Structure 1
Amino acid sequence: MTLSEFDAYRPDEPPRRRRRRSRPPRRRQEPGTGDGSREMFMVDDVEFTSYYGRPIVKAPPWESPIAVYLFVGGLAGASSLLGAGARLTGRTAMRRNARLTALGGVLVGTAALIEDLGRPERFLHMMRVVKPTSPMSVGTWILSTFATASGVAGAAEIDRLLGERLPLGPLRRVLRAVETPAAFGAAALGAPLATYTAVLLGDTAVPTWNASRHGLAFVFGSSATMAASGMQLVLTPTAEIGPARALAVAGVAGDLAGMHYTKAQMHPLEAEPLEEGPAGAKLAWAERLAVAGGIGALLGGRHRWIAAASGAALVAASALTRFGVLEAGRESVKDPRRVVEPQKARLAARRARGITDDSITTAG
């Protein structure tokens, strides 16, 4: 019975007379039994974990093409930076290999993105407007501009590699004139291309991605550095790979520190998919390969086969990092605890700090 201040205005109810009837005790009917004349349980007792057993947060339908795009986008962006550095230091082979790697990466990435969209015209529809508050809109324009600049620089390298046999005619002079500005333009967009996808993932409601938003861009940037420097360790003669070796070591250190920092900022349930299951196994192997590749680049980079093996390990580590992070986010939405418990913890922390007068927290 509930009581309120208005109960004093109500007249007292007369006492009720209770009637006693002797009835035989009912036996509990098992599901699926009975003749229809008695009440029976229609279903067994069940335990619900979320609304109708469905995930609280729906994961984006991003499959392997997006994982490929995450990897090759970082590879292309960091390679353009290496190509610009090689141009300034007179490393011809590294300049050529880095520019061609950037061009190949952006072509593969664009194809993977269009494959995920389903129809090519959807990519063009994304370019109808520029929306600074949307990481996807900004990323589309970064990718398109980078692809144009990288295509110009790559075309000049291909023409030079083929002995100027491309049927360019008078356009060859124009290509030579815009080659260097285009290459440096691509280099300026290299870092945004390598890291904007981390902002895109962190802007979603997926628990693991959203919780990693403060450090994931640093992880992706370091991972892209590993991939680009590793590719040059594989492709470029050892006489010119000095800067690539230094960047490889820096990329490994940044990747390990960035992933540790990112996990430290997350609730244990949000970080769990990064450490367990298939995604956790990928990231664990990425860490092992990164350490092995970094040590090989530092100590044995002057030997051709050691440099190539170290570079391959670094490229594989970068790819596994991108695939692992994508898979961890998709896995995190399957358990409702990873959505609810971190929110409860953050709400309790806000109340403990005395924040109770905003639209999120009220006095509990």
Structure 2
Amino acid sequence: MSPDRAPVGALFRRFRERLAAEGPDRLGGPGPRTGHGSKVNPGGGTNGSRAAGPETGGPNGTPLSGTGTAAPGSGSPATGTGAGVARTDSGAAEVRLAPHPPRDVEPVERPRRRGRKGGGGEQLTVPPAEFTSYYGRPILKAPVWKWDIAAYLFTGGLAAGSSILAAGGQLTGRPALRRAGRVSSLAAVGASAYFLVNDLGKPSRFHHMLRVAKLTSPMSVGTWILTTFGPAAGLAAVAEAAPWLPERGLLGLGRRLLPPVGHAAGLVAAVTAPALATYTGVLLADTAVPSWHEAYPELPTIFAGSALASGAGVGLLAAPPAQAGPARRLAVAGAALELWGSHRVENRLGLLSEPYATGTAGRLLRAGRALTAAGVAGALVGRRSRAVSALSGGALLAAAVCTRFGIFHGGVASAKDPRYTVVPQRERADRRVAAGD
């Protein structure tokens, strides 16, 4: 510290003495406060002015600083006039300010925005946005599958239903029904392999899919189901040619071995058939296509019923009425499942049921229901008529085609329109918000 400078304590004491002698205004200070009102000078003056009298405000000339009370006429915010008057309602009105709210009134809460549970926020000031897409383009990319996949859905179900029909004929001693089911199953599974490879583009891609087995992937599981079902159905169908082989030699050995091997293979195919009939429904529901994804409980049921009905149609077409009893029962069971599932997807899904009721899909599904009902009625009525049974079988097969193609076109239509993607998502979000509140 420089020797010619006074200590800080001495400087502070001199400042206090000068402040007490001359007052705060002489030193450029703001003046003493009186209570919670405006700053006043002694003698009733307001801030920024000097009173003519001595700097005392009390009746005995006592200083006002530190008293915590306002002198009469000192310009308090409630009743006075002066610089602090802007804090009163009348003064605020004069200078065009909002009135000061009373101290004893609770502030009004703003309405909170509905959002997360326990969260705040201000009220929305813009209307809810309408569903739209960027330049009118679809939000989802529509499936690239063509008609061959819809045909694959039908032939896979036909192969499954025919193998179940063949097993029923085998176990009940109806050779005509067994033979028709086995041959139809082999033809249908061969067509399914063609349609699938045609969609994949290269036969080697089907082989590449067998490199892994992933239980969480319907496509991988379906590939292995088809790989297991195909050879079993083929071996059972080949066994039907055993009576045409010679009785002696190597071919004679095949004639004796094929029937029992064919029986075992037919049962293996029948056991695998339900998985083959329903996995395609799971495959469609596992996609992001709105009307397929939302119908995940019904699609396997519809495909199972359609498979049974198509298999029954084969039996009614190929077997004589005396041996077609299992086919008629299969037709009734399949029609019940198919009609129930179709009714559900057209009424349970709300907005997402619309693609199944309009356009190409709606026409196909309505035709499928009508053909199914006609086929079942003909199967029950024409028990002794081969012609009526054949017509009923043809109606059931046509109904299966319409049902599979209708489900396919309904899903594709829902993927092309952004409304079927955005609106259900917002409805689910609103339900979650309502449940959280």
TM-score normalised per structure 1 = 0.80
Please tell me the residue identity of whatever aligns with 2:385: H
Give the 3-state SS of the residue equivalent to 2:417 in structure 1: coil
1:73 counterpart residue number:
156
Q: Tell me which of 159, 178, 182 is aligned to 1:95.
A: 178
Please tell me the residue identity of whatever aligns with 2:375: G
1:118 aligns with 2:201: yes
Give the 3-state SS of the residue equivalent to 1:224 in structure 2: helix
Percent same amino acid among aligned pairs?
Answer: 49
Deviations 1:26-64 (A, max 9, x none): xxxxxxxxxxxxxxxxxxxxx994123321111221111
Please tell me the residue identity of whatever aligns with 1:350: R
Give the 3-state SS of the residue equivalent to 1:353 in structure 2: helix
User: Measured at CA, do residues 158 and 54 of structure 1 come closer, stay the same or move farther in structure 2, by a change above 3 Å?
Assistant: farther
Displacement, 1:163?
4.7
Deviations 1:87-131 (A, max 9, x none): 111001000110111111100111111111111101101111000
1:64 counterpart residue number:
147
1:273 aligns with 2:355: yes
Give the 3-state SS of the residue equivalent to 1:100 in structure 2: helix
Please tell me the residue identity of whatever aligns with 1:61: V
1:236 counterpart residue number:
319
1:297 counterpart residue number:
379
Q: Map 1:33-72; keep pairs closer than 5 Å.
A: 49-72=132-155
Q: Tell me which of 120, 126, 151 is aligned to 2:234.
A: 151
Please tell me the residue identity of whatever aligns with 1:293: G
Q: Distance in 2 between matches of 1:301 and 1:328?
A: 36
Deviations 1:218-265 (A, max 9, x none): 011001111000111011111100111121122212211111123333
User: Measured at CA, do residues 167 and 60 of structure 1 come closer, stay the same or move farther in structure 2, by a change above 3 Å?
Assistant: farther
1:347 aligns with 2:396: no
Q: Comparing 198-207 with 298-307, which one deviates more in the overlay?
A: 298-307
User: Measured at CA, do residues 49 and 92 of structure 1 come closer, stay the same or move farther in structure 2, by a change above 3 Å?
Assistant: same
Q: Report if the CA contact (8 A) 1:207-1:332 is conserved.
A: yes
Q: Distance in 1 between matches of 2:381 and 2:246?
A: 39
Q: Report if the CA contact (8 A) 2:245-2:251 is conserved.
A: no
Q: Distance in 2 between matches of 1:49 and 1:351?
A: 22
1:317 aligns with 2:399: yes
Displacement, 1:66?
0.7
1:194 aligns with 2:293: no
Q: Tell me which of 272, 275, 283 is aligned to 2:365.
A: 283
Q: Distance in 1 between matches of 2:314 and 2:260?
A: 28
Q: Map 1:123-272; keep pairs closer than 5 Å.
A: 123-160=206-243, 162-163=244-245, 168=251, 170-268=253-351, 270-272=352-354
Q: Distance in 2 between matches of 1:68 and 1:240?
A: 29
Please tell me the residue identity of whatever aligns with 1:240: Q
Q: Distance in 2 between matches of 1:136 and 1:349?
A: 33
Please tell me the residue identity of whatever aligns with 1:294: V
Q: Distance in 2 between matches of 1:174 and 1:246?
A: 32
2:413 counterpart residue number:
331
Displacement, 1:192?
0.5
Structure 1 unaligned regions, length at least 5 = 1-46, 355-362
Q: Report if the CA contact (8 A) 1:211-1:265 is conserved.
A: no
Displacement, 1:334?
1.3
Displacement, 1:171?
4.2
Q: Which has the higher contact order (CA 8 A, sep 6+)?
A: 1
1:8 counterpart residue number:
none
Please tell me the residue identity of whatever aligns with 1:186: A
Q: Comparing 249-258 with 198-207, which one deviates more in the overlay?
A: 249-258
Displacement, 1:170?
4.1
User: Measured at CA, do residues 139 and 289 of structure 1 come closer, stay the same or move farther in structure 2, by a change above 3 Å?
Assistant: same
Q: Distance in 2 between matches of 1:310 and 1:342?
A: 40
Please tell me the residue identity of whatever aligns with 2:402: L
Q: Distance in 2 between matches of 1:170 and 1:51?
A: 69
User: Measured at CA, do residues 224 and 280 of structure 1 come closer, stay the same or move farther in structure 2, by a change above 3 Å?
Assistant: same
Q: Distance in 2 between matches of 1:51 and 1:214?
A: 32
Greater helix share, structure number:
1
Displacement, 1:350?
2.7
Q: Report if the CA contact (8 A) 2:356-2:410 is conserved.
A: yes
Q: Comparing 258-267 with 310-319, which one deviates more in the overlay?
A: 258-267
Q: Comparing 66-75 with 47-56, which one deviates more in the overlay?
A: 47-56
Q: Distance in 2 between matches of 1:169 and 1:211?
A: 56
Q: Report if the CA contact (8 A) 1:212-1:263 is conserved.
A: no
TM-score normalised per structure 2 = 0.67
Q: Report if the CA contact (8 A) 1:222-1:254 is conserved.
A: yes
Give the 3-state SS of the residue equivalent to 1:214 in structure 2: coil
User: Measured at CA, do residues 164 and 342 of structure 1 come closer, stay the same or move farther in structure 2, by a change above 3 Å?
Assistant: farther
Please tell me the residue identity of whatever aligns with 2:395: A
Question: Based on CA coordinates, which of the two structures has the bigger radius of gyration?
Answer: 2
2:188 counterpart residue number:
105
Q: Distance in 1 between matches of 2:242 and 2:307?
A: 27
Deviations 1:253-306 (A, max 9, x none): 2211111123333132x1111000011111111111111111111112321111
